Structure 1
């Protein structure tokens, strides 16, 4: 049986890896390890199809070490023993252990000494948060790296390579991939290259060629192979961004009917991920401090949607959309942090005041660190006036509260009360 295209197109050396340049680009941590041949065990975590296995196989290909793949959930301790025996006989082995968060304690206890002596370079792969799901004994012996979804440009690059490669890819076929079909492959897979390659291969192998042998892959064929409809067929490929933009602007404008319409478009296209991401952003960007409980309810709705999936996911998301549309609005938080970031970007923001600097080490007092700091809990109402911002910014007011909800009205009153007391106290 022929191996899948996604398997055949796995990179054979680190330079062939698509995406993840924050890890494998020139001068980055994994590239440095490979160049110096000083590998350490690591855990790669991130969504499916983003290159965890590819990174492991590319590391092995670039370093010429033996490469073995096991699954922590389905492979037994016996398989681990075979890999360790091989490492003892022939030298270092790179072991990709998929679903490492499901590694049992007996398997873990067997592996640990071999990680420490360097016989096994473990590359654990997981979609779970390793700081929560993976045993501390494994975490302490590995470096943890986040693998991110690929961009549309990166997926397009990988598709182009697969179409051209005559040995491992589809280059021997006379394929014509419509621009709209390629764009949909890049967008609808949400950064999952494996899904994009699988759909492309299915389309190529299941589409009848024309009389001249040309296999034309249209948007309709890709929609069928992905089981994910495009939002609309538009020439410029802007429909996805237009719908997402209209979705957020409709909620921001408190139009529940329009927002439900654009949510329906996203869900009809199977784009649950974009709907969820946008709702979480909207909850904190546009409703924000005017109604923080609406944001909390949105998080709960998105969590429910992710657990139950489509089509039932439409129900909690519709609740969230209506809730956000009719909630009071405030963008004061995003405006405040953006104003602070603007000052950071401009530079010249000054040093941390000496009394706020870390004083928990010997010799700090000699450097003037922490002297004259007033511990607020020792004063009435657990507050005392003292300077917190650096000198050049000490009169800055980033937060500009609004009056669009009872919660932020209360925050505004407290903020102004404290700022007034602070100004008076600092001028005594």
Structure 2
């Protein structure tokens, strides 16, 4: 029996007991489950990656209540659509309004919901792939008693979802008598934490498999082929994209090469080489810095190689850079020192530039005394001579706090030696 609707659509849970993989949010022991069982549905915002079940949860909540249910998508609906639903809800009584991708609504469209929410005309369930604290108006958030983050489904949850679809005679694939080894179901579950993608992949696999007298026989070759050609990607303007970039940088900073390679792989599937390269270059100078300046200098040529090669070959230099950055000594002392200096300047912690450092390359500078007592370091042994460079009011300031890591050990020794010579010279002059 072939259906016109996709398997993922047909397998949407009709009641909250059928929701898979979100027990922390709507499991039988949660407050939200108990509220819904008693007929009370609070306004809420659901956010998470695509395929985590936001829409499914909204429909399951609707199926577990006797309330009118309206569903719209913010990419196609407008303010007028919302007003029409609110007017209809005023006549029918308390209703649930589900708005998918609510972050797509502008402020005016979101504000059109406020009065109906306050009066209890509608209960709002908003779904978004973006962090609602960034993408949804404060006025809407404050009227939503629940803000729930849905996590990607675990392997076990995906397996449960796939087996349910295989056995369901009415909505699933049960009537097709599909023969598939548990190991192949596991292979599919290892591919994604996205329930919709997993079900779509299973549907493709079943319809790509050969029919026998005993039903449909699924082979490993068919599963592998469909997985390879699924084309997983992500929205490179969404919250997930920035979380992946953040995961990459924090994994490298934490010296976890395996995690760095995992996030790099996910970003590469999104296809945005420019953003990956830019982030790796930032990581080199932000997190590696003076502990391994030679590596910092090598990152840009590697990135240029990636730009020249493109994909898939570009993944090779990227993998080398990601592993080397992960396993390198780390130091952020240089830019932290600069940030400290910038804060001082912004707060007005400044002073007059020492007169011997002032520009002397103009007529009349000598009359002002500018540059007259400047000592040219290259004229002295070791190219160093004592003289003050900071303004008098902050001459004892140490912005730079070196670490004893990698190459920075050597810089630390030089820095501390020079600081000691300055202190000794000051004592002699006082």
- What TM-score results when the alignment is normalised by the length of structure 1? 0.59
Matched residue, 2:6: 4
CA distance in 2, matches of 1:27, 1:402: 51
Give the SS at the match of 1:55. Answer: helix
Matched residue, 1:221: 222
The within-5 A match list for 1:203-352 is 203-210=205-212, 212-227=213-228, 311=312, 314=315, 317-318=318-319, 320-324=321-325, 327-328=328-329
The within-5 A match list for 1:56-75 is 56-75=58-77
Paired residues of 1:45 and 1:147 also in contact (CA < 8 A): yes
Deviations 1:315-374 (A, max 9, x none): 7843642542562279xxxxxxxxxxxxxxxxxxxxxxxxxxxxxxxxxxxxxxxxxxxx
Shift of 1:14: 0.7
1:173 to 159, 172, 176: 176
Deviations 1:114-142 (A, max 9, x none): 11112211111111111112222222211
Matched residue, 2:375: none
Give the SS at the match of 1:74. Answer: coil
Matched residue, 1:200: 202
Shift of 1:101: 0.7
1:119 to 114, 118, 121: 121
Shift of 1:291: 5.4
Give the SS at the match of 1:37. Answer: coil
Shift of 1:104: 1.9
Deviations 1:278-325 (A, max 9, x none): x99xx9xxx999959999x99xx9xxx9xxx97587378436425425
> Tell me, which stretches of 5 or more residues in structure 2 are unaligned?
231-250, 332-395, 397-402, 413-430
CA distance in 2, matches of 1:99, 1:37: 26
CA distance in 1, matches of 2:137, 2:196: 28
Matched residue, 2:110: 108
Shift of 1:82: 2.9
Give the SS at the match of 1:63. Answer: coil
Matched residue, 2:100: 98
Give the SS at the match of 2:210. Answer: coil
Aligned-CA RMSD value: 4.6
Change (3 A) 1:65 1:144: same
Matched residue, 1:141: 143
Matched residue, 2:418: none
Paired residues of 1:180 and 1:218 also in contact (CA < 8 A): no
Give the SS at the match of 1:201. Answer: helix
Shift of 1:12: 0.9
> Tell me, which stretches of 5 or more residues in structure 1 are unaligned?
230-247, 331-380, 382-400, 411-428
Matched residue, 1:417: none
Number of equivalences: 302
Q: For structure 1, which segment, 15-24 or 174-183, has the greater mean C-alpha deviation from structure 2 after superposition? A: 174-183
CA distance in 2, matches of 1:124, 1:172: 35
Matched residue, 1:347: none
Shift of 1:219: 2.7
Matched residue, 2:161: 158
Paired residues of 1:180 and 1:219 also in contact (CA < 8 A): no
Change (3 A) 1:223 1:57: same
CA distance in 1, matches of 2:311, 2:104: 27
CA distance in 1, matches of 2:290, 2:187: 38
Deviations 1:154-191 (A, max 9, x none): 100011111111011111011012333211210111x1
Paired residues of 2:68 and 2:96 also in contact (CA < 8 A): yes
Change (3 A) 1:90 1:292: farther
